[in-house]
Amino acid sequence: MEDTYGKLISSLAKTNDKRIVLLVMDGLGDCDNAGKGTALWQAKTPNFDALAARSALGLLTPVATGVTPGSGPGHLGLFGYDPLVFQVGRGVLSALGVEFALTKRDVAARLNFCTLDAAGNITDRRAGRIPDSENRRVLALIRQKLSPPPGVELFWETEAEHRAVLVLRGDGLDDNIGDTDPQAVGVPPLRPDRPPHDASRTALMVADILDQVKGILASEKKANMILGRGFAKAPDWPSFEERFQLKPAAVAGYPMYRGVARLVGMPVVSQPTTAADVCAEAAKAMKDHTFVFAHFKYTDKTGEDGDLPAKIQRIEEMDAAIPALLKAKPDVLIVTGDHSTPPSMKSHSWHPVPVLMHAPHLRGGDGKRFDEVSCRAGQIGTIPSKEIIPLAMAHADKLEKFGA
Amino acid sequence: MEDTYGKLISSLAKTNDKRIVLLVMDGLGDCDNAGKGTALWQAKTPNFDALAARSALGLLTPVATGVTPGSGPGHLGLFGYDPLVFQVGRGVLSALGVEFALTKRDVAARLNFCTLDAAGNITDRRAGRIPDSENRRVLALIRQKLSPPPGVELFWETEAEHRAVLVLRGDGLDDNIGDTDPQAVGVPPLRPDRPPHDASRTALMVADILDQVKGILASEKKANMILGRGFAKAPDWPSFEERFQLKPAAVAGYPMYRGVARLVGMPVVSQPTTAADVCAEAAKAMKDHTFVFAHFKYTDKTGEDGDLPAKIQRIEEMDAAIPALLKAKPDVLIVTGDHSTPPSMKSHSWHPVPVLMHAPHLRGGDGKRFDEVSCRAGQIGTIPSKEIIPLAMAHADKLEKFGA
């Protein structure tokens, strides 16, 4: 995969004082929820609707037709980083999720506590889903007793239940390390240093670490071993600021989204969670930044919960809050989602995501409503998520002409 | 060309028991036939229209804007194989057309009988379009008299009129062989072993075979020589089953379409030709297969014949038949074509092809009609043909999430 479009935009980017705001209502898009209609159709959104009449509408494809994105790829696309070019290992995403500040010397892995029988075979890949407190107690034991490899610092972080994160920090570490989770019970954990990983210095370190863990946890009843997967180095990508010549700020109340922002070098300036606070803090952040990413979690959370009325209510809360953001007069305001989360599916989905862009130089306003139907007919069309910031930059006069 | 999208989908594919049916009405799309309207506009299709009100509509681009596909590329696109990545030599397509079961040891070529004058120059590249019976008689003569190269088996198959197929079978054959048809009269046939093909062992074999043929046919009046082109090995592609984790079956009454199905490892379970039989057999095939490709030829044939009323009638026949297929309750039903065949053009065309997808998790139903105009406004949008099976897989919960 080539980053052709991203490099083109990067080569044309120029600075000015205009402000671009990207308001992400997580999981905003919907299907028709088995005949009930989408949340946007049903929500009463007088402010969004008035805005839609003065805005461009469209649909965004986060990754590709039919492909459901996780939160990482969903946001990277919106940030102008093609998720198929800029792929992040599972371990890195887990580290972002617990807001661990990764450096370029780090290798991160997702851990599961598991249960082994006396013969060393896995009987439960999730150690009976131990409570968070147990997770913390056992990790404390490991931290206290384990001898790290020379020159390497280890970080053990609780995620939730049986899930945790391990970060190795040192010079010259590699991530050529095998998953040790065999994705099956009745067999022992795999070795991290098996072929083709056996030539990796770091895989040998991980093998030693896991041997030590097995000894330390030998007397535990449930969480008597760990399984590691998705060993990955923090990526070394062009920062958002150098890529787009925008001075960015992130306004996000949840760790995962702060983490993805930091992955592209976007500093987190505020951590609001309610719609009113997200809009107020985004307006404030506009003062010293030419780009503000503002994240609202609850449209996704209510979708994941399968609660359509609650998703509608969360949209209406944002509708009530948006005038405060408009008052700060962003030159370009984008309102969209990182993916769809239909309550009838209780999960992320592949459906293209509604987008509204209020900007100068539009071809008129597109609709009376901000919903999936109006967006399908809008002037933006259906485009990849990675193209929406460049389009906003065009409207904000932040892109040079291509060729003479 | 990279198979990026196909590999992505393949990496996300998972199995379940849901059924996907792809009903291909060959050449379904149309232009407006010089003002008369498209066949779909004019056809009375109460069942398709009722279905459209509960389905997603859109348009499929088989290869690329403005590019008219042959039947091979048209179907490969629908099967999720990018026709620009998965290219088949002309010889292989001809072998498929006569339903020759190619193996990986085979090289196939398309043959034309031609007429040479006494000086050995071509006077007719089609040997006066000899009847099929003459074609068969002359091929029998060649079969009888020709000595194959050591270790190589030869198969000579009549296609129609002056057209035939040659297959060489043996170990280590290559397809670095020049076309011998100079695409001109008044000159002799080209040599298959001319540079840059002169280093090819198989090209030398073919040169010897053609020398023998010239001798054998010396006393024939019309078909006194053959011209070969499109020498090609059978491709070694990932099978449909391994690519998409779907258990496929093909239901197709015509050799070419059975051949393309077999090219991707799709077994042919039934060979119906009428609309009623195609739908009934597709419904039956759903029992033991999670994917059924059902092919209906006559919408293309009537288009090629320039017979708009007949094309309309064929569409109406399929409309009458479709309830029997719906009764079998496919989880996802796709109705589309492999390309457009406007009667006013009497040929395949580049126009994007109407598609209807009945599936769970839609954004409502798209239209009151299944025709080119409704499809243009539909929620699927205009997408490459290769994306329609992945989209169906998404709706049937057969794709994992991308990233966390």
pLDDT value at position A367?
87
Q: Are residues B179 and B289 in the same domain?
A: no
E strands, A145-279, are 153-160, 163-169, 225-233, 248-252, 268-270
Residues 6+ apart with CB under 8 A from A266: A79, A240, A248, A249, A250, A293
Q: Are residues B289 and B367 in the same domain?
A: yes
A376: contact with B, CB 8 A cutoff: yes
What separation, in Å, do the N-terminal and C-terminal C-alpha atoms of chain A show? 29
* Span A317-361, pLDDT tens digits: 999 999 999 999 999 999 999 999 999 999 999 999 999 999 999
Q: Which of B296, B290, B306 is nearest to B335 (CA)?
A: B296
Whether residue B252 lies inside any domain: the answer is yes
pTM of the model as a whole: 0.91
Across the interface, whether the CB atoms of A66 and B5 are under 8 A apart is answered no
Q: Are residues B248 and B385 in the same domain?
A: yes
What is the crossing angle of helices A308-327 and A275-285, to 10°?
30
Q: Are residues A244 and A390 in the same domain?
A: yes
Given a cut of 80, whether residue A59 has pLDDT beyond it is: yes
Across the interface, whether the CB atoms of B361 and A342 are under 8 A apart is answered yes
Mean pLDDT of A146-164: 95
Across the interface, whether the CB atoms of A87 and B383 are under 8 A apart is answered no
In chain B, how many domains are there? Answer: 2
Question: What CA–CA distance (Å, rounded) separates A57 from B160?
Answer: 54
Which residues in A lie closer than 8 A to residue B244 (C-beta atoms)? Answer: none
Which residues in B lie closer than 8 A to residue A94 (C-beta atoms)? Answer: 404
Mean pLDDT of A44-51: 98
What's the mean per-residue pLDDT of chain A? 96
E strands, A119-162, are 122-124, 153-160
Q: How many other C-beta atoms are found inside a 10 Å radius of the C-beta of residue B194? A: 12
- Please list the residues that pair with B57 across neighbouring strands: B356
B387: contact with A, CB 8 A cutoff: yes
> Which tokens is A60 given?
């965004």
> Hunting for tokens 């499929």 — which residue is that?
B60
Q: Answer whether B202's CB lies under 8 Å from B168's CB.
A: yes
- Pick from B4, B363, B399: which is nearest to A1 by CB? B4
pLDDT value at position A92?
94
* Domain CATH code at residue B83: 3.40.720.10
Mean pLDDT of A49-74: 97
A31: contact with B, CB 8 A cutoff: yes
Which residues in A lie closer than 8 A to residue B391 (C-beta atoms)? Answer: 65-66, 350
pLDDT value at position B1?
82
Which residues of chain B from 343 to 372 reach within 8 Å of chain A, CB to CB?
361-364
Across the interface, whether the CB atoms of B394 and A67 are under 8 A apart is answered yes
Residues 6+ apart with CB under 8 A from B115: B122, B123, B124, B127, B128, B222, B223, B224, B225
Residues 6+ apart with CB under 8 A from B133: none
B154: contact with A, CB 8 A cutoff: no
> Hunting for tokens 């057209």 — which residue is that?
B163
pLDDT category at A168 given cuts 50, 70, 90 is: very high
Mutation target among A67, A79, A82, A110 for the B interface, most CBs of B within 10 A: A67
DSSP-derived 3-state class of residue B215:
helix
Whether residue B400 lies inside any domain: the answer is no
B381: contact with A, CB 8 A cutoff: yes
Q: Are residues B204 and B285 in the same domain?
A: no
Phi, psi of A217 (to 5 degrees): -95, 5
Given a cut of 90, whether residue A86 has pLDDT beyond it is: yes
Which amino acid is located at B212 in the chain? Q
Whether residue B17 lies inside any domain: the answer is yes
Whether residue A302 lies inside any domain: the answer is yes
Number of A to B CB contacts under 8 A, please give it: 86
Whether residue A402 lies inside any domain: the answer is no
Q: Answer whether B101's CB lies under 8 Å from B259's CB.
A: no
Across the interface, whether the CB atoms of A94 and B393 are under 8 A apart is answered no
Q: Are residues A60 and A97 in the same domain?
A: no
Cα nearest neighbour of B383 on chain A: A65
* Span A293-313, pLDDT tens digits: 999 999 999 999 999 999 999
Residues 6+ apart with CB under 8 A from A221: none
Nearest chain B CA: its distance from A143 CA (Å): 27
Across the interface, whether the CB atoms of A373 and B363 are under 8 A apart is answered yes
User: For the stretch A33-45, what's the b/e string if a residue is b when 16 or more beta carbons lie within 10 angstroms of its beta carbon?
Assistant: beeebbbbbbbeb
Beta strand A106-116 pairing with A122-124: antiparallel
Which residues in A lie closer than 8 A to residue B399 (C-beta atoms)? Answer: 66-68, 350
Which residues in B lie closer than 8 A to residue A32 (C-beta atoms)? Answer: 362-364
Domain extent at residue A361: 4-86+237-395
Across the interface, whether the CB atoms of A66 and B399 are under 8 A apart is answered yes
> Which tokens is B147 given?
């000595």
pLDDT value at position A97?
85
Q: Which of A277, A125, A239 is nearest to A187 (CA)?
A: A125
Phi, psi of B333 (to 5 degrees): -120, 125
Q: Are residues A102 and A158 in the same domain?
A: yes
Q: Are residues A336 and A201 in the same domain?
A: no
Task: Kindly provide the ipTM of the predicted complex, given to two decimals.
Answer: 0.90
Q: Classify B142 in phi/psi space as left (phi over 0), alpha (psi -120 to 50) or beta.
A: alpha
Choose the final residue of a domain: A233, A261, A286: A233
Which residues in A lie closer than 8 A to residue B390 (C-beta atoms)? Answer: 64-67
Across the interface, whether the CB atoms of A67 and B402 are under 8 A apart is answered yes
pLDDT value at position B255?
87
Given a cut of 90, whether residue A374 has pLDDT beyond it is: yes
pLDDT value at position B96?
87
Which amino acid is located at B230 in the chain? G
User: For the stretch B51-62, what's the b/e string if a residue is b when 16 or more beta carbons lie within 10 angstroms of its beta carbon?
Assistant: bbeebbbbbbbb
Whether residue B213 lies inside any domain: the answer is yes
Choose the final residue of a domain: A233, A264, A286: A233
Q: Are residues B243 and B323 in the same domain?
A: yes
Q: Are residues A241 and A227 in the same domain?
A: no
Which residues in A lie closer than 8 A to residue B11 (C-beta atoms)? Answer: none
C-alpha neighbours within 13 Å on the C-beta side of residue A7: 6
> Which tokens is A346 given?
């209780």
Question: What CA–CA distance (Å, rounded) separates A337 from A299?
Answer: 9
Choose the final residue of a domain: B202, B233, B264: B233
A6: contact with B, CB 8 A cutoff: no
Q: Classify B306 in phi/psi space as left (phi over 0), alpha (psi -120 to 50) or beta.
A: left
Sign of CA pseudo-dihedral A277, A336, A85, B362: positive
pLDDT value at position B404?
76
CA dist list (Å): A395 to A24, A364, A391: 19, 13, 7
pLDDT value at position B179?
96
Which amino acid is located at A353 in the chain? V
Given a cut of 80, whether residue A163 has pLDDT beyond it is: yes
Whether residue B402 lies inside any domain: the answer is no
Phi, psi of B211 (to 5 degrees): -60, -45
Q: Answer whether A173's CB lies under 8 Å from A107's CB.
A: yes
pLDDT category at A99 given cuts 50, 70, 90 is: confident
H helix runs in B245-380, sequence order: 255-263, 275-285, 298-304, 308-327, 372-376
Mutation target among A87, A300, A350 for the B interface, most CBs of B within 10 A: A350
Residues of chain B with pLDDT under 50: none
DSSP-derived 3-state class of residue B165:
strand
Q: Are residues A114 and A59 in the same domain?
A: no
Q: Are residues A227 and A252 in the same domain?
A: no
Whether residue B148 lies inside any domain: the answer is yes
Is A364 buried (19+), middle (13-18) or exposed (0-12) by CB count in 10 A?
exposed
